[in-house]
């Protein structure tokens, strides 16, 4: 078997409002998190984007740039199973894989042109932290990529639930108007580690230039503080 010695390299990176892993949606499309994809100089030829505006969604192939571990394990503990049950790594979307590559489907909102950056893609529904490298982009084809009757394995048994979010108006007012809906959707997805359930504990994650702090009691999440970073 011939070895392919070509190395893949990032063609772009994505800019989002989440600078850390904590708080990210567990899958793409669960929250309308906006993103801007900026390409490396060698990939800014406008011809490469010809026809892209005809698609509504894109596949992003990207790198788990902040997983903090070099080795991979044959089994992992999926958070949605409480972090105490092991499954085969190839039956999960764990970042700790033989090759640390992720796959996300996002909505293409606009194909823009920046005077300095060249072609820029505006997307939504991303589950990527700010600065994540993008290795390839492919159009989503509904006639072949959509399989409504597909089996969801154990993940189907623990479908993501949503929390009721109590966000006091005075605190919500600190968030820019155009950024509020995405934050509300992120909070409703329950950002906590699945194996921690302490109503008295304060959790927090960074969003824009704020540290959003909250508690969770049962099915209700309450925002208790918005701190400047």
Same domain, 172 and 146: no
What digits encode the pLDDT tens for the residues 84-103?
A: 788 898 988 888 888 889 99
- Does residue 39 contact residue 12 with C-beta atoms inside 8 Å? yes
Taking alpha carbons only, the member of 105, 101, 128 closest to residue 17 is: 128
Which of 106-115, 123-132, 143-152, 179-188 is predicted least confidently? 143-152
Same domain, 131 and 190: no
CATH value at residue 185: 3.30.2310.20
Q: Tell me the average pLDDT of the chain.
A: 89
CATH value at residue 39: 2.40.30.70
Same domain, 76 and 166: no
Distances (CA, A) of 222 to 82, 152, 163, 167: 22, 31, 10, 6
Note down the domain range covering 32. 12-154
Instruction: Kindly state the average pLDDT of the residues 54-81.
Output: 84
Give domain status of residue 2, yes or no: no
Same domain, 100 and 119: yes
The model's confidence at residue 163, banded by pLDDT at 50, 70 and 90, is: very high
What digits encode the pLDDT tens for the residues 208-229?
A: 999 999 999 999 999 999 999 8
pLDDT at 157: 60
Last residue of a domain, one of 154, 172, 187: 154
What digits encode the pLDDT tens for the residues 32-56?
A: 899 999 999 999 999 999 999 999 9
Q: Does the pTM exceed 0.85?
A: yes
Residue 158, pLDDT > 60, answer no
Residue 154, pLDDT > 90, answer no
Give domain status of residue 74, yes or no: yes
Last residue of a domain, one of 107, 126, 154: 154
Taking alpha carbons only, the member of 188, 183, 186, 164 closest to residue 173 is: 183
């Amino acid at each position: 078997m011939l070895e392919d010695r070509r190395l893949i390299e990032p063609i772009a990176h994505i800019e989002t409002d989440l600078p850390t892993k904590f708080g990210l949606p567990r899958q793409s499309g669960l929250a309308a998190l906006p993103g801007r994809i900026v390409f490396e100089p060698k990939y800014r030829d406008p011809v490469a984007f010809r026809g892209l505006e005809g698609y509504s969604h894109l596949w992003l192939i990207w790198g788990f740039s902040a997983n903090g571990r070099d080795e991979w394990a044959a089994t992992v503990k999926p958070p949605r199973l409480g972090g105490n049950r092991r499954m085969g790594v190839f039956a999960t979307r764990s970042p700790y894989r033989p090759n640390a590559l992720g796959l996300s489907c996002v909505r293409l909102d606009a194909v823009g042109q920046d005077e300095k950056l060249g072609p820029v893609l505006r997307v939504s529904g991303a589950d990527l932290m700010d600065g994540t490298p993008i290795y390839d982009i492919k159009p989503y084809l509904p006639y072949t990529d959509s399989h409504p009757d597909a089996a969801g394995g154990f993940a189907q048994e623990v479908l993501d639930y949503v929390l009721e979010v109590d966000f006091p108006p005075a605190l919500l007012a600190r968030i820019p108007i155009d950024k509020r809906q995405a934050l509300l959707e992120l909070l409703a997805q329950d950002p906590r580690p699945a194996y921690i359930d302490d109503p008295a504990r304060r959790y927090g994650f960074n969003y824009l230039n704020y540290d959003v702090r909250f508690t969770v009691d049962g099915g209700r999440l309450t925002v208790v503080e918005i701190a400047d970073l």
